[in-house]
Amino acid sequence: MAMQKRSAFKNHYYEIQLIARRCMLGLILICLLVGFLIWRLAYLQIYKNELYTTLSTKNAIDLVPVEPTRGLIFDRNGILLAENIPVFSLDVIPYQVTDLQKTLTDLGKIIQLSDNDVSQFKKQLKQHRRFDEIPLKLRLTEQEVAIFTENQHRFPGVIIKARLMRHYPFGESFSHVLGYVGRINAQELNEIDQINYSASHYIGKLGIEKYYEEELHGKVGYEEVENDASGKPIRVLKKINGIPGKNLYLTIDSGLQFAAEKALGDDRGAVVAIQPQTGQVLAMVSKPGYDPSIFVLGISQKDYQDLQQSDDKPLYDRALRGLYPMASTIKPYLALQGLDTGITNPDYTIFDNGIFKLPNSSHIFHDWVRNGHGRVNLPRAITVSCDIYFYNLSMKMGIDKMDDILTRFGYGALTGIDLDGELPGIVASPAWKRKNRGTRWYPGDTIISTIGQGDMQATPIQLASAVATLANRGQRFMPYLLLGEQLPGKAYTPQQPIPLEPVKLHDNKYWDVVINAMQDVVGSPQGTAYSLFGRGYTYTVAAKTGTGALSKRRNPNEEDKQESVPEKLRDHHLFIAFAPVDKPKIALAIVTENSNDAVETARYILDYYLGSQQNANRQPQNQIKKAGT
């Protein structure tokens, strides 16, 4: 018989205790975990509160730089010469774009992007941070704005931004004075204050825009922008206003600038007009010019090369950098030196038969008139521009005294005008020739220097500054363009004239001798400008003509046969003047390249500025002549 299986008895008390112990251990573990969580929360919320609050705010808030408004530029009468116009631009934020090349390709399908747009963008891409807004195309049309807005969801990281863009309403009329702004390049990026330009893409490149960049640019501002979890801006929490650029007022009289530009007609050349009592530049024209606005948008390489390679050199600032023979405009200054040193006097007379020879030399130096001017004293020598008289004077005076008076009037040195790029010209001397030509100085060098030929060179701004000093009877001022500046909402600050070392003579009557002779240049029938300047003007004017000879003539009378010479080989013509003589309001220097229109150009400008009722509206003769051909 099989035995029955015995079953074990359960110990309920033991099982209850086991369960209780396990529950207690679980409870203790839970309490420890809860305690750890409470401690951790307390640690993060209390002890590390400042750190994580800062990090959270940093994630939610961006500090976005705001470009300051660039200062405006006005003429002396408040006419706006450089302004800021509102435009819509297409900007790219590179770090938000997954495939930049594909984005550019797709954008090109809905908005016309030129090769220059893309090229300029890629240049800027290398110079900015990936989270900067970089312009791809400026000045979107309303249609382009509408098309992109419809398709914006397809282009993350591409936005339309409203911005102010520089604009020059008068085009090329003030191009060499104002210069232009352009996109910041790599070299400039290393030279500027990158914090202050963190929101800026443009900087002054030439002219006033460059010289006064610091004043015009202003100081950058900032916005605290709250973002959502995806980084998209939600709202502006706080704005730290920047400081706008200063508005600049120039000494330029835009009406006179237009008149000078019109008077030059189709001639290449330069006009500089200065207010003698202050040194303020009233007009500064270099022709031809260029439209500075094309540089703001970003000029293509081809268009830039076309401007550079043009025979007319529109990018070349002739007023500031053009080096021209001083020609016979040098003679009034040499006459002053001759009088002041006692080498000559107003009554000393020579007989001019049209020929001059150096001792022990067979070379003949001609007067510009074949048979000479007969008996000539100093005043008449200035009036008729007698070369022979000044050849004789130079041999007595010597090159050192000639250089001395020219240097005292500012030749051979920078005038100091508030523009970059000015050239100093050349006052030729034995030391200069030895250094630059490697040869000695000969007596013939002195002879040709006395009529402003050879190595004697000056810029139109120097010519104007020197004749302004002559008008002031020796008082010199530095030429300048900044009349004053004003921060919006603040007081206007004028620029004061800057006096320079005056030209002093032993006897002030010598000023009258030379200036009276210069009046006869225009007013006497024998004067070199009499027939061209004409009659009927209501003001007094003192002047001097000059011819910068470029072609070698067969005889002294070839002056009237320039039409047979190729245009680019024809002589330059110069004219310096000031008026009215007793109380000068304007000093003028004009250079017309390969053209004999300098005197007529001056007449038109002076008629305009001094208000000659009979001739203020007359058209310059050079324009009348060209209009009929």
> What residues are annotated to the active site?
328
Q: 504 phi and psi, to 5 degrees?
A: -110, 140
**d(C-alpha 393, C-alpha 350), whole Å:** 10
Q: Diameter of the chain by CA atoms?
A: 176
Backbone angles phi, psi at 91, to 5 degrees: -110, 150
Q: What is the DSSP string of 399-458?
A: HHHHHHHHHHTTTTS----SSTT----B---HHHHHHHTSS---HHHHHHHTTT-TT-EE
284 neighbors 321 (Cβ within 8 angstroms): no
> Which residue in 468, 533, 529 sits closest to 503, CA to CA?
468
Orientation of helix 399-408 relative to helix 331-340, angle to 10°: 110
Helix (H) or strand (E) holding 181: strand 181-183
How many Cβ atoms sit within 10 Å of the Cβ of residue 444? 13
Amino acid at 263: A
Name residue 11's amino acid.
Answer: N
- The helix/strand/coil state of 100 is helix
Residue the block writes with tokens 């919006």: 488
Starting at the earlier edge strand, list the strands of the sheet with 269-275.
Answer: 280-287, 269-275, 586-592, 572-579, 542-548
Decide if 563 contacts 454 (C-beta within 8 A).
no
Tokens for 289, please give them.
Answer: 């010019």
Region class of 337: left (phi > 0), else alpha (psi between -120 and 50), else beta: alpha
Residues 6+ apart with CB under 8 A from 340: 405, 505, 506, 507, 510
Residue for token digits 């030129």? 114
Provide φ and ψ at 428, rounded to 5°. -65, 145
β-strands 349-352, 374-377: how paired?
A: antiparallel
Measure the CA–CA gap between 150 and 8, rounded to whole angstroms.
84
Q: 544: which 2 tokens? A: 């001097």
Q: Which tokens sit at 167? A: 């604009």
> In terms of Cα–Cα distance, which of 425, 204, 214 is closest to 322?
425
Q: List C-alpha distances in Å: 227 to 67, 94, 350, 380, 515.
A: 20, 18, 90, 83, 74
Peptide bond into 580 cis (omega under 30): yes
Handedness of CA 421, 321, 394, 477 (dihedral sign): negative
d(CA 217, CA 139): 21
